[in-house]
């Protein structure tokens, strides 16, 4: 293989090296954190969220289940209690042009419910390829991505599309 590289023009070799470096950097950016790191990060963000003492808010969360279903659930929480919920769905590739709203547990889409989901998968973050991001101001989970290694079409993705403290 090294002799093959020697035969390539210098410009092409340089381009290849740059491409390999970019691929390496991209791969590094998507590495799964170590087993204890997700627990600590999520717990830290949960403490920061709790310190904000926001007991009333409206949140809309998009939940995408692989290619099978996409639904945005909107929850109103007043003094820590779910007082209203609604949903709209977006047709996914498997649903064609129409979709049906699926029943859901509103508690799953509250901020506390999102933290519970993230914490559920955190101990085995490598197995579930857990990825979570957090809001810079309020520290709630902004996105949660779960994809069990070696299981096809099990990807689940949560994304907060709107959040309004009340």
- Cα dihedral 9, 11, 15, 17, rounded to 10, equals 70
Q: By CB neighbour count within 10 A (0-12 exposed, 13-18 middle, 19+ buried), where does 33 fall? A: middle
Number of domains in the chain: 2
pLDDT on residue 9: 65
Nearest Cα residue to 102 out of 148, 68, 144: 68
Domain interval for residue 69: 36-165
Cα–Cα distance, 115 to 119 (Å, whole number): 6
Give yes or no: residues 45 and 58 share one domain.
Answer: yes
pLDDT on residue 44: 95
Say which DSSP state 150 is in: T
Give yes or no: residues 82 and 49 share one domain.
Answer: yes
Give yes or no: residues 89 and 54 share one domain.
Answer: yes
For the chain, residues with pLDDT lower than 70 are 1-37, 153
Give yes or no: residues 13 and 27 share one domain.
Answer: yes
Give the bridge partners for 59, in sequence order: 75, 163
Give yes or no: residues 76 and 126 share one domain.
Answer: yes
What token pair was written down for 85?
């919920």
3-state secondary structure at position 13:
helix
Give yes or no: residues 44 and 95 share one domain.
Answer: yes
Give yes or no: residues 52 and 132 share one domain.
Answer: yes
Give yes or no: residues 53 and 119 share one domain.
Answer: yes
What token pair was written down for 145?
């991505």
pLDDT on residue 117: 95
Give yes or no: residues 88 and 135 share one domain.
Answer: yes
Cα–Cα distance, 126 to 34 (Å, whole number): 7
Element (H, E) at 128: helix 125-128
Give yes or no: residues 19 and 76 share one domain.
Answer: no
The CB density around residue 60, as the number of other CB atoms within 10 Å, is 18
Give yes or no: residues 84 and 10 share one domain.
Answer: no
Give yes or no: residues 16 and 93 share one domain.
Answer: no
Q: What are the residues whose beta carbons fall under 8 Å from the beta carbon of 153, sequence distance 6 or more?
A: 66, 67, 68
pLDDT tens for each residue of 121-166 = 898 888 888 999 999 999 999 999 988 777 776 789 999 999 999 9
């Amino acid at each position: 293989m090294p002799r093959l590289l020697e035969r390539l023009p210098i410009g092409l070799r340089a381009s290849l090296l740059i491409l390999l470096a970019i691929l390496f950097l991209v791969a590094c950016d998507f590495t799964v954190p170590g087993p204890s790191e997700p627990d600590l990060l999520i717990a830290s963000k949960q403490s920061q969220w709790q310190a904000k003492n926001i007991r009333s808010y409206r949140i809309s969360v998009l939940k995408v289940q692989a290619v099978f279903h996409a639904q945005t659930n909107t929850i109103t929480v007043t003094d820590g209690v779910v007082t209203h919920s609604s949903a709209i769905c977006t047709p996914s590739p498997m649903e064609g042009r129409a979709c049906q709203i699926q029943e859901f547990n509103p508690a799953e889409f509250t901020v506390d419910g999102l933290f519970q989901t993230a914490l559920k998968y955190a101990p085995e973050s490598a197995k579930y390829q857990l990825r979570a991001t957090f809001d810079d101001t309020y520290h709630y989970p902004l996105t949660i991505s779960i994809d069990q290694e070696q299981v096809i079409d099990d990807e689940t993705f949560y994304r907060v599309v709107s959040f309004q403290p009340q």
